[in-house]
């Protein structure tokens, strides 16, 4: 089981981002208090099981520093059973990491850091309104490597306006040469309501062509696999078996509890999410109004969700589980469908799992496969 805490605060609003966050930092302490209250309310329901991962996500939880998040983690220990070897991840950005250092995070029990580097091109960082510079990213990585924090992950983006494939390859090679264990690669998408969407509409930025974006995805794959990383999920690479335990639990359908505004939860057949409003969240925890919205999926939607999630993973769909979930008829229909697509989209050694080339093109197959 995984425990997720959504910390919805950021120093600056990146132009591409549509996550739930605010740059108004005044409400931090009220929100942390509300998170404690939500944990207390959820405690009885979740106390029987134990969490093997805790994930501080956001937003930028690293912005709050260990003085604020340390006591919050202690509170989680009081409300829930966290396994002694639980993976405890903190998302942070380079500038915040440099501000707080690593000792405080280590002391509070963070054993996995996820650093939002995105690119090492200073101009692209500035154009996207990131709060950090490329030099800060390098210095933050120096600090993390010297800290002995056991697991380190870096986020890198591709398809960014102003960054060509050759430079992206150099960025990936530079990062891969470091002592990091995990790299997530995300293609830039233009989300509704973001500053980037407006800039694209006003022709203030020019996005790279689709072919170039595809070329970048494949080039990253070459660099990272050559450096010993396993491409274990469409956007994720791990070295030395250091896959993200937290995300792997999502992909394999384990229960998870999400605390905080916009956080999602799954428990058995029940699933729900908290609405994306800090004010409503704080009020709800103070007994004024509700925040939880149930998510109802019918039988077909559950199968589709399983299909779409599993096909993102290296393992894809296993025959035994597929037969049990969807029955022989559906399973053989999927295998037949696979024959209509190029061989190199799929791994030869697994019954139904994409190759890297297949992940690039997966929408066509998945659109045809969903119920
Ligand atoms: S720091 Fe992360 S969460 Fe915050 S605006 Fe930027 S991308 Fe979004």
For residue 134, the model assigns a pLDDT of: 98
For residue 252, the model assigns a pLDDT of: 82
Half-sphere exposure for 123 (CA within 13 Å, toward CB): 5
Spatial distance between the Cα atoms of 196 and 107, rounded to a whole number of angstroms: 38
For residue 248, the model assigns a pLDDT of: 87
Spatial distance between the Cα atoms of 31 and 149, rounded to a whole number of angstroms: 28
Spatial distance between the Cα atoms of 327 and 321, rounded to a whole number of angstroms: 9
Q: Which atom of ligand 1 is nearest the CA belonging to 12?
A: 5
Question: 21 CB less than 6 Å from ligand 1?
Answer: yes
Q: How far is the CA of 22 from the centre of ligand 1 (A)?
A: 9
Spatial distance between the Cα atoms of 260 and 5, rounded to a whole number of angstroms: 6
Short-list 1, 56, 3, CA closest to 32:
56
Largest CA distance in the chain: 57
Q: How far is C-alpha 202 from the geometric centre of its chain's CA atoms?
A: 30
133 and 120 Cβ atoms separated by less than 8 Å: no
For residue 251, the model assigns a pLDDT of: 85
Q: Which atom of ligand 1 is nearest the CA belonging to 93?
A: 1
Q: How far is the CA of 356 from the centre of ligand 1 (A)?
A: 27
Instruction: Output the CA torsion 259→260→264→270 (10° steps).
Output: 50
The CA-based angle 340-343-344, given to 5 degrees, is 135
For residue 86, the model assigns a pLDDT of: 97
Mean pLDDT by 10 residues, the chain (371 residues): 97 96 96 98 93 96 98 98 97 98 97 98 97 98 95 97 97 97 97 96 95 97 98 96 90 92 94 96 93 92 93 95 92 96 96 96 94 87
Count CB neighbours of 47 within 10 A. Answer: 11
For residue 232, what are the CA distances in angstroms to 236, 237, 247? 6, 6, 11
Spatial distance between the Cα atoms of 66 and 169, rounded to a whole number of angstroms: 34
Q: How far is the CA of 125 from the centre of ligand 1 (A)?
A: 12
For residue 197, the model assigns a pLDDT of: 97
For residue 312, the model assigns a pLDDT of: 96
Main-chain phi, psi angles of 155, to 5 degrees: -95, 135
Spatial distance between the Cα atoms of 123 and 187, rounded to a whole number of angstroms: 18
Q: How far is the CA of 120 from the centre of ligand 1 (A)?
A: 16
Nearest CA to ligand 1 atom 3: 59
CATH topology classification for 2-251: TIM Barrel (3.20.20)
Main-chain phi, psi angles of 74, to 5 degrees: -60, -40
The pTM score is 0.95
Question: 117 CB less than 6 Å from ligand 1?
Answer: no
Residue-range domain boundaries for the chain: 2-251, 299-369
Q: How far is the CA of 17 from the centre of ligand 1 (A)?
A: 6
Q: How far is the CA of 6 from the centre of ligand 1 (A)?
A: 12
Question: 13 CB less than 6 Å from ligand 1?
Answer: yes
Instruction: State the distance between the two ends of the chain, measured CA to CA, in whole angstroms.
Output: 28
Short-list 109, 103, 128, CA closest to 117:
128
Cβ contacts of 195 within 8 Å, gap of 6 or more: 13, 15, 16, 129
95 and 129 Cβ atoms separated by less than 8 Å: no
Main-chain phi, psi angles of 159, to 5 degrees: 75, 25
């Amino acid at each position: 089981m995984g425990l997720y805490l959504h910390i919805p605060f950021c120093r600056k609003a990146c132009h591409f981002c549509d996550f739930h966050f605010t740059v108004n930092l005044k409400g931090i302490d009220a929100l942390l208090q509300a998170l404690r209250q939500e944990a207390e309310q959820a405690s009885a329901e979740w106390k029987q099981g134990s969490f093997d991962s805790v994930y501080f996500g956001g937003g930028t939880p690293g912005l709050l520093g260990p003085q604020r998040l340390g006591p919050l983690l202690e509170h989680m220990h009081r409300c829930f059973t966290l396994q002694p070897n639980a993976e405890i991840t903190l998302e942070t950005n380079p500038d915040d990491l440099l501000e707080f250092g690593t000792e405080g995070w280590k002391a509070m029990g963070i054993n996995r850091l996820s650093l939002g580097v995105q690119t090492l091109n200073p101009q692209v960082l500035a154009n996207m309104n990131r709060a950090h510079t490329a030099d800060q990213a390098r210095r933050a990585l120096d600090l993390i490597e010297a800290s002995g924090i056991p697991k380190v992950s870096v986020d890198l983006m591709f398809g960014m306006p102003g960054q060509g494939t050759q430079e992206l390859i150099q960025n990936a090679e530079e990062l891969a040469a470091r002592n990091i264990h995990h790299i997530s690669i995300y293609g830039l998408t233009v989300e509704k309501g973001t500053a980037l969407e407006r800039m694209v509409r006003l022709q203030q930025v020019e996005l790279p062509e689709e072919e170039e974006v595809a070329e970048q995805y494949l080039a990253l794959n070459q660099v990272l696999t050559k450096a010993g990383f396993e491409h274990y999920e469409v956007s994720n690479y791990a070295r030395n078996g250091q896959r993200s335990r937290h995300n792997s639990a999502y992909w394999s359908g384990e229960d998870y509890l999400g605390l905080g505004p916009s956080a999602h939860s799954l428990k058995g057949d029940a699933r729900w999410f908290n609405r994306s409003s800090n004010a409503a969240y704080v009020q709800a925890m103070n007994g004024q109004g509700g925040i939880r919205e149930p998510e109802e999926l019918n039988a077909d939607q559950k199968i589709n969700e399983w299909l779409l999630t599993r096909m993102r993973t290296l393992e894809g769909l296993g025959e035994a589980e597929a037969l049990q979930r969807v029955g022989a008829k559906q399973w053989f229909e999927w295998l037949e469908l696979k024959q209509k697509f190029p061989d190199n989209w799929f791994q030869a050694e697994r019954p139904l799992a994409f190759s890297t080339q297949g992940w690039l093109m997966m929408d066509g197959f998945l659109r045809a496969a969903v119920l």
